[in-house]
Structure 1
Amino acid sequence: MDLLFANDKAGTYPASYYAATRADLAPFPAPAGDLRADVCVVGGGFTGLSAALHLAQRGLDVVLLEAHRVGFGASGRNGGQVGTGQRQDQDWLERTLGRDHARQLWDLSLESVEMVRTLIRDHDMPCTFHDGIVHACFSQGEVDHARHYAEKMARDYGYDRITPLDSDALQAILPAPLYKGGDIDRGAGHVHPLNYAVGLARAAAKAGARLHENALVQRIDHGARPVVHTADARVTCDHVILACNGYLGGLDPHVAARVMPINNFVVATEPLGDRAAEVLRENVAVADTRFVVNYWRLSEDNRLLFGGGESYGYRFPDVVKTVRKPMLEVYPHLKDVRIDYAWGGTLAITMNRMPCFARVKPNVLSASGYSGHGVAMATLAGRLLAEAVAGQAERFDVMASVPMHRFPGGPAMRWPMLVLAMTWYSMRDRLGI
C-alpha cells in the first residue's frame, strides 16, 4: 500500500480546517510528454516549493512534480509552529557535534524562522506570522531546566527572546493546571501552514518555476542527465532534488533507510468565542514536554487547533478519539465542545530527530526527516538545496555532516521496532517518568 493514497483521495486536499480555509489556488497542470529542465524537484511541500522558488530566482529552469496538490502532505496539515533551533536542543548539539558546529546549526535555525517571516511579507502571502511559542512543562525539574536553558541561550548565544515562566506566569497565558511552568520563545511563531504553502507555490510559479500536480513519480533513471518518469511524462534534467519527506516510498533506498514516515493527528473545535480565553490568553502556540508531543494554538476564528497522538502504519485510526483524549487531559472543561474537523497526516522522523540532508548521487540531493520541526527548517532546506545545485554547497554540507544512522531492522522490521519503542515512551509519559 502507498502512503500517498492510503488515507487520501488522489489529487485533492484532505478534509481539514486548513483545507476549508485555504486561499484560492487554481490547479497546476499534470505533466505530459518529454520535458527538459535544469532541475527536477520531486515533491511540492515546503522543501520542494522553497527549492523551486530559490532555483528559479537564480535563473535556473525548474520543473516541480507533486503527486497530489502542492502542500498536500505534512506541509499543509501540521500545527503551523515555526520554531527556533533544531529538533534537538543546543546542549545535545554541543555534546554530539561540538560547539562550533552547534553554533552553525543555531544560526541556520534563526535564518530559517526569519525566512518564513520575510517570504510572507515580500510575497504578500495569504497568511500571517504570529509571534510566540510556549513550551509547557509537566514537572518542576523540567521547569528548572527550561530556566537554565533560557539563561544559557542568552549567555552563550546572545539570544534573549526566551523568557522562563513559573507556574503563575504560565497560567496567565494558558490556564491549564496540568503544567508546572515552562518558557515562552518570542522569536518563534505560528502560521496557517497550508496557506503558507499556497503562498510559496504562487511565488515559485511567478518566479518562473513550472509546477505540475497529479504527477506521481514512478522511477528515476540516474546518470549524467537523470530522467524522472511519471505515468505520462519524462523529465530529463541535470539535477534532481528529492523533497518527498514521509512520502518518499522506494525512490531512494539510502534516504528511505534513514527517514521513517509516521502519522500525527489534529482536531479543530467549533469556534470558542469568549471561551477562547479558557484556552489561551495570548495568540501564541504551545507545545508540551511529552515524548509524543501535545501542541495547540487558536485559529483566526478562535477554534482550538489541538494536535496529539501518533500511529506507525498505513491507515489512520479514529482521529477524534485519538486526539480528544489528550486534549481533555489538558482542558477538561472543554468536554462539551464540538469537534468540527479532524485529520491526520504523514510526517517523517530520523533516528536522532535531526533532518536528513544527503547527496545521494553526484547530481541528486535530498532533504527530509524534519521530525515535527519542519515549517522553518524545510523552508531553509529549499534555499540550501538551491545553493548546492548552484555550486555553493558549504551550508548544505553543514546540515549534511550531522551523523545520520539507519533505522534498525530494515524495511520489514523497522516499523514493528519503532512501535515497541514509541509504546515504551508513551507509557513513560502516562506514568510521569
Structure 2
Amino acid sequence: MSEHAPSYYAATANSAPRHPALAGEVTADVVVVGGGFTGLSAALSAVEAGYSVVLLEAKRIGWGASGRNGGQMIPGMRWSAADLLSEFGEDRARALVALGLEASKRVRTRIARHGVACDLRDGHFHAAWKPAHLDTMKRECEVLERLAGSQNLSVVERADVPHYVASEAYHGGLYDPGGGHLHPLNYALGLADAALAAGVRIFEGSPATAMDHGTPVRVTTPRGTVSARMGVLACDSDVGQIEPAFRSAMMPIANYNVATAPLGEAAAQALILSNASIAESRFVLNYYRLTADNRLLFGGGEKYTPTPPPSIPGFVRPFMEQIFPQLRGVPIDYGWGGMVGVTLNRLPQFGRTGNTFYAHGYSGHGVLLTTLAGELIVEAMRGTAERFDLMAALPRQPFPGGRLLRHPLHVAGMLWYALKDRL
C-alpha cells in the first residue's frame, strides 16, 4: 500500500491506523469514493444521519491534495463577494456569501467536536500585490458588510503591513479573523478517526476502477465491489479517471511547498507577527504561514505538467526569498508537491449524476469548502437540497480546445495572467 508522499505533514502526522483493502462484495446505504476532506466529511455526516457507509480510498487517507496543501483556511470562494454580487444579483450573492462564511464555522465545529489535533490557528491576511488591489479590498469590505453584516475585517494600509508580515512586497491588505490555518493531513486523519468511530467502514488501497451511478450505485475495485443506494464521488483532480465526463471540466495544476528548518520562536514571530495565513492578491500567487514548530511553510510558483521540477526546494526558494530576503540561504528541510483541481472560472462544481453526488474543483479554496461540501451532499441525500442546489447552479464551462488542445490553451492563459501580475 502506498505511503504518504514525503512532506512536512507526513513527517509530523498523528498516528493513524492502516485500513484494509476491500475484498469481496459489500453493501451499504452510501458508498463514498475518495478519502480526502470532501469524502471524509460526507462519510461522517452520512453515518451521523443514520446511513451505513463505506468509504474507498485508492491509496491512504489524505493522500492527495487534502494532505499536501498549504493548510490555508481562506473564507469564501475564489470569486469575491463583489464578483458574486455583480454576476448573480443581491439575493443569490447573499446566499452564496453565507455559505462561504459557514464553511469556516463547520471546520472549526468538526475540530472541536472530535478533538482533532491539527494546530488550528486563527487569522488570514490577504496581501495586496498592487495599490489597485488594496482599493479592490476596500470595496470588498463594503460589499461583505452589505451582504452579510460586519465580519470584523480590517483594511491594512501599507505602513501597517509589518504588524502582519515582515515583507516590503505589499501595498497593504485585508485581515480576516475568520480565516486561519491548520495541519491539513492531521485534520484529514482526525476526520477519518471520527468516521471510523461512528461506524464508517474505511478501505485503503482500494482504487475505484469503475462506477455505475444507477440503482444500485456500484463501485468496482481490483479485489471487490460495493453496492449502495447512493454514491459520493469526491476525487477532485483525479475525478476524470473515474468519470470521463468530468475530464473537460477540470484541469490539474501542480503546486509546490517547502518548509524551512525551525527558525526559533522569536525569528518566526518576527516574520509573521500576526501568525496568520498569508496569501497574495495576484493571480499566480505565493501563500505561506508558520508551523507549530516555528518553520516557515511556503508555497510558490505553479507548473502545468505533472512532472515535478528536479528540485522542489530549488524551484520554490526564489519565490520565498523574493518575499523574505532576510531568509536568503536558510536551510529547507522539506519540499513536496501535488495536483490541485481548478475549473475554468475557478468556481467549484457540485452536482448529481444518477444516484451519485459529487463536488470538486475548489480551485485553491478547498480547505474550508470541502467540509461544507460533504455536509451539503448529505443534506441533499436526506431531501433538503436547497443549499446543495445553490452550489450546483453555479455556472460551469469546459476548458476549450478538446482533448488535444485543452491543456496547451490553459497553459497559455495562465502565462498571460502571470504576465499581468508583473505589469
TM over 0.5: yes
Distance 2:247 2:233 in 1: 11
> 3-state SS of the aligned residue for 1:248?
helix
Are residue 195 (structure 1) and residue 186 (structure 2) matched? yes
1:101-145 CA-partner distances (Å, limit 9, x unpaired): 111111111111001111101100112321100011122211122
RMSD over aligned Cα atoms: 1.2
Q: Give, in angstroms, the shift of residue 160 of structure 1.
A: 2.9
Instruction: Using the TM superposition, give the Cα deviation of residue 50 of structure 1 relative to its aligned residue in structure 2, in angstroms.
Output: 0.1
Aligned residue runs from structure 1 range 247-258, under 5 A = 247-258=238-249
Matches within 5 A, 1:324-363: 324-361=317-354, 363=355
Tell me how far apart the structure 2 counterparts of residues 60 and 372 of structure 1 sit (CA, whole Å). 31
Deviation at 1:263, TM superposition (A): 0.9
> Which of these residues, 113, 131, 142, is aligned with residue 133 of structure 2?
142
- Aligned residue in 2 for 1:181: 172
Q: Which amino acid letter does the alignment assign opposite residue 34 of structure 1?
A: E
Identical aligned residues as a percent: 45
Please give the residue correspondences for 1:222-371 in structure 2 after superposition, counting only pairs within 5 Å: 222-273=213-264, 274-317=266-309, 318-361=311-354, 363-371=355-363
Structure 1 residue 395 and structure 2 residue 415: aligned?
no
Q: Is the 8 A contact 1:47 1:381 kept in 2?
A: yes
d(CA) in 2 for partners of 1:246, 1:209: 24
CA–CA distance in 1 between the matches of 2:344 and 2:197? 37
Checking the alignment, whether the CA contact within 8 Å between 2:123 and 2:177 is kept in structure 1 is yes
Tell me the equivalent position of 2:105. Answer: 114
Do residues 25 (structure 1) and 5 (structure 2) align? no
List per-residue Cα deviations over 1:286-321 (Å, max 9, x = no partner).
001121110000000110000011112222123112
Q: Structure 2: which amino acid aligns with 1:374?
A: G
TM-score for both structures, normalised by structure 2: 0.97
Query: 1:414 offset after TM fit, Å?
Result: 1.3
Q: Quick one: which amino acid aligns to residue 347 of structure 1? A: V
Task: Count residues in correspondence.
Answer: 421
Q: Which runs of 5+ in 2 are unaligned?
A: none
TM-score by length of 1: 0.95
**What one-letter code is carried by the residue in structure 1 that aligns with 2:405?**
M
SS of residue paired to 1:264 = strand
Supply the distance in 2 between the matched residues of 1:319 and 1:352 (Cα, whole angstroms).
Answer: 28
Between the aligned partners of 2:314 and 2:282, the Cα distance in structure 1 is: 19
Q: Which amino acid aligns with 2:239?
A: L
Q: Structure 1: any 5+ residue segments left out of the alignment?
A: 1-9
Cα drift, residue 255 of structure 1: 2.4
In the TM superposition, what whole-angstrom CA distance separates every residue of 1:398-423 from its partner, at most 9, and x where no partner exists? 00001111111122221111111111
Range moving further from structure 2, 153-162 or 235-244 = 153-162
Question: Structure 2 CA distance, aligned partners of 1:328 and 1:27?
Answer: 39
Q: Which residue of 2 aligns with 1:3?
A: none
